[in-house]
Amino acid sequence: MTEKIIEVKDLQKWFPIRRSISQFFKGEHNYVKAVDGISFSINRGEIFGLVGESGCGKTTTGKLIMKLLEPTEGTMFLNGEDVTHIEKDELKRYRRNVQMIFQDPYASMNPRFKIRDVMEEPLIIHKLGEDRDARMKMIEKALMEVKLNPPDEFLVRYPHMLSGGQRQRAATARTLLLNPELLVADEPVSMIDLSTRAEILHMMKEVQRDLGLTYLYITHDLSTARYFTDRIAVMYLGKIIEIGDPDDVIDNPVHPYTRALIAAVCEPVAGKVNKPKVVPIKGEIPSAANIPKGCRFHPRCPYAKEECWEKEEPQLQEIEDGHFHACRRWKEVVEEAGRG
Amino acid sequence: MTVSDFRRSASEFWREFRKVRSGVFGLIFLAIFICILIFEPLIVPYPEANEKWRDITYWQDLPSSAPPSWINLFTSKKRAVSESIEEYAFSETLAGAMRIQEYVFEYDYSASVAPSDVVFHASGVGKPTVVISIQRPDGLSIDLYRKQLEMSPTQDARVSIDRSAQTAAMNFGKKYSPSEGVQLQTIKTTDVLFSEAKQGIFRSPSPLVGIYKLKVTLLLQKAEEKIEDAFVTVAGRVHGILGTDNSKRDIWSGVIAGVKWAMLIGLLTALVSVSIGVVYGVISAYVGGWKDSLMQRIFEIFISVPMLPVLIVMSAVFKPNIWVMIGIMCIFYWVGPVKTVRSMGLQIKEETYIEASRALGASNTRIIFKHMVPLLIPYAFASMALNVPGAIVVEATISLLGLGDATIVTWGQILQAANSGGAMLSGMWWWVVPPGMAIAFMGMTFAFVGFAMDKILNPKLKTR
């Protein structure tokens, strides 16, 4: 039995938006439903991928798990302990266990701090290391872990003197200083040169193996997700619509949205130059303030039939071991897609 | 930040600063003011001006309402300059038990307008009788004064010829110009003493230049009586660098003594109020939500209360000293940078590194003071420099209304004295212009420095 490190149940984050005066008097509320009831769990030592296009709520999910945002509804458990609403000291303790790598390594470090100060910050906050020398030893060790060699050379530099890859390594090292169990990596390589991405992901994987970490890897990039993760969840408009083994989900997608997402991946294939790809999806992602009735994907779904918007929203269902999806007409979809 | 980093950013700042000419002028003025501050005791003739500004006896040997000495350069009628005569010829004769000491002071009078007073000073003990006479260049000798002095270690003898020899002067003049009808009260003693002995000596005197000998004879009856440190001061018709006011105070000393108060008031008010304002603005921006709204409403209350009337009323009721006044000014001045800082803070707080710091578990205090406030320090410095003139002018205003701190001397108080002393009506420009100019220069200094800093540190104003 694998141990669940974090489990979220029916997690919601609704952001209130401004109401008109008549709405105010009628008592109506408007919300942007960034995360609209998601449930999943991550096992210890696993890399869990959360995939979706921009605006689907995956970053919000990351921030909810990081507790940078308070959830509107739902519950969260860390190692079986309810951490949905915690404050002050508990929160501080929580943050030693759960850490985050941010998307933009150019922005996630104070440009006025040297790497040394950037790295020292978590140690000072959590009162780790007796004196400066002890802290410097810990920092050097962490920098070695992420392959920033030799550490001394980097300590005295400012973030802007580092390359994107080096910064992301430093950012990772900073989170490692606290010995977290779970690392939320919010698109850690999306701002990094393609040529360096694999290297960074490789480094992250190595660190994970060395230290027995668990990752929540948030990305819009299916190809790195497949390379990097043990399990992926596809999110659309605040809901998870498919979960499963990455190979399973990508090779045998069930939900039409997953299919569209896979079809949209660019591949530099010889002979395919200048040929526009056919993406089986129409229109833009709807506003999270106004989620369509029924299946939330139906306005863009090429397979949508009346039942999709007439009946209530479909729930996740299992088709094979560990592969869940939320499509009512999945049999027809798989058939039609198979035909052509 | 290590020392070398600081040096590098400072030199970068200086390179930019040099390009703003007004800023360089401001710095030069600032340097001058600081030099004045440091060397104050050396450049003023009356270093105790600050403490003794309202002490009449400290100033009593000076002429009253005298213009600056340098106006002699621009007039054909030279006026006598203030001086002190410490050299004398001394002789002592014995007449029985009595000792007769004779001091002869020589005064070389070469101006066209006679000095306003000649004062004999001596310290010692006893009750000697003093006889003062003057021998003029034309050979005439006038007995001026005869009286018994009372001297003790705490009380020095001081004989003002102008006051005590009025009758002698009238009698002398009457002898040579009998037809002129004058009254004792209207006679200016020194004018008579230093004029040619002829018709019209009272109304249209012509100066008699040459060496005057002031003979002071002291009759000491007892053996323990003694006289020390005898000297004579001549209070001129012009005095010092900036003249005197109608209470005989040296205006130059007062203006220079005012530098330190102006600096103190300006800088302290600016430092305290800007610090409070910056921290308040950052906190308001950072906490957000209803707390931000509440803090902004409180800010609006403070910004909409007019400072000057409140300050005037408070000063009139409580007669505050300078520190209380600085405190009150801070209460009103801290609002200055709040709005700008809040808007900058709103921007900074959205930076990812703030969120990253929060994710690391940083407390709000740490985020505000370690990550947000340092970014605002350049702005705060510029804002401080721009706040200095305001504070100085406000203090001057309060003082001009006669509500200032009575234990110090500020430019506003000099102006207030000038106003109530009728300096404007009697054309005593040297009483009004210097403190006014000093206020203007001090304000200009900090405004120039502030504008230059603002230009460099405020990216929106950068023009290239």
Q: Give yes or no: residues B161 and B104 share one domain.
A: yes
Residue B332 belongs to a domain: yes
Average pLDDT over residues B120-134: 86
Q: Give yes or no: residues B78 and B106 share one domain.
A: yes
Which residues from A are below 8 Å from B357, CB to CB? Answer: 110, 121
Please report the residues numbered 264 through 323 in chain A whose beta carbons come closer than 8 angstroms to any beta carbon of chain B: none
Q: Look up the CATH number of the domain holding residue B225.
A: 2.60.120
Contact A108 B356 (CB under 8 A): yes
Q: Are the C-beta atoms of residues B31 and B203 closer than 8 Å to each other?
A: no
Q: Tell me, what's the pLDDT at B277?
A: 93
3-class SS of residue A220: coil
Q: Does pLDDT of B278 surpass 90?
A: yes
Average pLDDT over residues B225-252: 86
Q: Are the C-beta atoms of residues B432 and B418 closer than 8 Å to each other?
A: yes
Q: How far apart are CA A62 and CA A51, in angstroms?
A: 12
Dihedral in degrees, nearest 10, Cα atoms B252, B255, B259, B262: 180
Q: Tell me, what's the pLDDT at B463?
A: 46
Residue B330 belongs to a domain: yes
Residue B60 belongs to a domain: no
Q: Are the C-beta atoms of residues B169 and B189 closer than 8 Å to each other?
A: yes
3-class SS of residue A274: coil
Q: Give yes or no: residues B414 and B306 share one domain.
A: yes
CA distance B352 to chain A (A): 5
3-class SS of residue A182: strand
**Sheet architecture: strand order including A4-16:** A31-43, A4-16, A73-78, A81-82
CA distance B338 to chain A (A): 23
Q: What is the pLDDT of residues A7-35, one digit of tens each?
A: 888 888 888 887 778 877 887 778 888 88
**Strands A73-78 and B88-95, bridge-based pairing:** unpaired
A97: its two tokens: 């266990």
Q: How far apart are CA B125 and CA B100, in angstroms?
A: 15
Identify from A70, A92, A108 which residue to disrupt to test chain B contact, counting B C-beta atoms within 10 A and taking the largest count.
Answer: A108
Q: Give yes or no: residues B279 and B332 share one domain.
A: yes
Which residues span the domain enclosing B345? 3-48+251-461
Residue B24 belongs to a domain: yes
Average pLDDT over residues B30-58: 88
CA distance B371 to chain A (A): 7
Q: Are the C-beta atoms of residues B227 and B218 closer than 8 Å to each other?
A: yes
Contact A68 B357 (CB under 8 A): no
Contact A121 B362 (CB under 8 A): yes
Q: Are the C-beta atoms of residues A237 and A57 closer than 8 Å to each other?
A: yes
Q: What is the pLDDT of residues B404-435, one digit of tens each?
A: 888 888 898 899 889 888 888 888 899 999 99
B36: its two tokens: 């004045």
A88's torsion region: left (phi>0), alpha (psi -120 to 50) or beta?
left
Highest averaged pLDDT of the listed ranges A320-334, B39-53, B176-190:
B39-53
Q: Look up the CATH number of the domain holding residue B392.
A: 1.10.3720.10
Identify from B290, B350, B358, B360 which residue to disrupt to test chain A contact, counting A C-beta atoms within 10 A and taking the largest count.
Answer: B360
pLDDT band at B385 (very low <50, low <70, confident <90, very high): confident
**Strands B129-135 and B210-220, bridge-based pairing:** antiparallel
In one-letter notation, the amino acid at residue A47 is I
Helix (H) or strand (E) holding B229: strand B226-235
Contact A109 B375 (CB under 8 A): no
Give first-to-last CA distance, chain A, whole Å.
Answer: 41
Q: Is A107 on the interface with B (CB under 8 A)?
A: yes
Q: E strands of chain A, at which residues?
A: 4-16, 31-43, 47-51, 73-78, 81-82, 98-101, 182-186, 214-219, 231-236, 239-244, 317-320, 323-325
Highest averaged pLDDT of the listed ranges A252-261, B264-273, B319-328, B392-401:
B264-273
Q: Is B364 on the interface with A (CB under 8 A)?
A: no
Q: Which residue of B has its CA nearest to A91?
A: B361
Which residues from B are below 8 Å from A102, CB to CB? Answer: 352, 355-356
Q: How far apart are CA B454 and CA B26, in angstroms?
A: 13
Q: Which residue of B has its CA nearest to A174?
A: B360
3-class SS of residue A215: strand
Average pLDDT over residues B255-262: 90
User: Considering CB atoms only, which of A92, A102, A112 is closest to B356?
Assistant: A102
Predicted TM-score (pTM) of the model is: 0.78
User: Considering CB atoms only, which of A109, A112, A121 is closest to B374?
Assistant: A112
CA distance B6 to chain A (A): 12
Residue B245 belongs to a domain: no
User: Considering CB atoms only, which of A104, A112, A121 is closest to B360?
Assistant: A121
Q: Which residue of A has its CA nearest to B6?
A: A112
Number of domains in chain B: 2
Q: Longest Cα pair distance anywhere in chain A, in angstroms?
A: 68
A282: its two tokens: 């129409």
CA distance B12 to chain A (A): 16
Q: Is B365 on the interface with A (CB under 8 A)?
A: no
Which residues from B are below 8 Å from A112, CB to CB? Answer: 374-375
In one-letter notation, the amino acid at residue B42 is L
CA distance A95 to chain B (A): 6
Size of interface A-B (CB pairs under 8 A): 49
Q: Give yes or no: residues B229 and B255 share one domain.
A: no
Q: Which residue of A has its CA nearest to B372?
A: A110
Average pLDDT over residues B195-207: 82
Q: Does pLDDT of B386 surpass 70?
A: yes
Q: What is the pLDDT of residues B284-309, one digit of tens each?
A: 999 988 999 999 999 999 999 888 88
Q: Give yes or no: residues B32 and B117 share one domain.
A: no
CA distance B1 to chain A (A): 8
Q: Give yes or no: residues B100 and B7 share one domain.
A: no
Residue B15 belongs to a domain: yes
Which residues from B are below 8 Å from A68, CB to CB? Answer: 355, 358-359
Q: Give yes or no: residues B213 and B338 share one domain.
A: no
Q: How far apart are CA B66 and CA B73, in angstroms?
A: 15
Contact A102 B355 (CB under 8 A): yes
Q: Is B351 on the interface with A (CB under 8 A)?
A: yes
Q: Give yes or no: residues B157 and B221 share one domain.
A: yes
Which residues from B are below 8 Å from A126, CB to CB? Answer: 361
Q: Is the dihedral of CA A248, A252, A256, A262 positive or negative?
A: positive
Q: Give yes or no: residues B211 and B272 share one domain.
A: no
Q: Is A102 on the interface with B (CB under 8 A)?
A: yes
Crossing angle of helices B373-400 and B338-349, in 10° steps, is 170
Which residues from A are below 8 Å from B361, CB to CB? Answer: 91-92, 95-96, 122, 125-126
CA distance B383 to chain A (A): 22
Q: How far apart are CA A168 and CA A200, in angstroms?
A: 8
Q: How far apart are CA B165 and CA A198, in angstroms?
A: 107
Please report the residues numbered 66 through 95 in chain A whose beta carbons come closer than 8 angstroms to any beta carbon of chain B: 66, 68, 91-92, 95
Q: Are the C-beta atoms of residues A220 and A52 closer than 8 Å to each other?
A: yes
Q: What are the residues whose beta carbons fall under 8 Å from the beta carbon of B15, sequence distance 6 or more?
A: none
Query: If we measure between CA atoms, which residue out of B351, B350, B312 comes closest to residue B329?
Result: B312
Which residues from B are below 8 Å from A96, CB to CB? Answer: 361
Q: What is the pLDDT of residues B435-464, one digit of tens each?
A: 999 999 998 998 888 888 877 776 555 444
What single string gives the DSSP state of each residue in A40-53? EEEETT-EEEEE--
Domain A4-339 has CATH 3.40.50.720: no
Contact B352 A178 (CB under 8 A): no
Q: Is A160 on the interface with B (CB under 8 A)?
A: no
Q: How far apart are CA B166 and CA B90, in angstroms?
A: 27
Residue B246 belongs to a domain: no
Residue B62 belongs to a domain: no
Contact A100 B363 (CB under 8 A): no
Which residues from B are below 8 Å from A174, CB to CB? Answer: 360
Which residues from A are below 8 Å from B375, CB to CB? Answer: 112
Q: Tell me, what's the pLDDT at A270?
A: 62
Domain edges within chain A? 4-339
User: Across chain A, how many H-helices and E-strands are there?
Assistant: 13, 12
pLDDT tens over chain A, length 340 residues:
478 888 888 888 888 887 778 877 887 778 888 888 888 889 888 899 998 888 888 888 988 988 888 888 889 888 888 888 887 888 888 888 899 888 888 888 888 888 888 888 888 888 888 888 888 888 888 888 888 888 888 888 888 888 888 888 888 888 888 888 899 988 888 888 888 888 888 888 888 888 888 999 998 888 888 888 889 999 888 888 889 888 888 888 888 888 888 887 766 666 655 556 666 677 777 777 778 888 888 888 877 777 777 777 788 888 877 888 888 777 777 777 666 5
Crossing angle of helices A115-125 and A132-145, in 10° steps, is 110
Q: How far apart are CA B436 and CA A174, in angstroms?
A: 59
Q: Give yes or no: residues B284 and B143 share one domain.
A: no
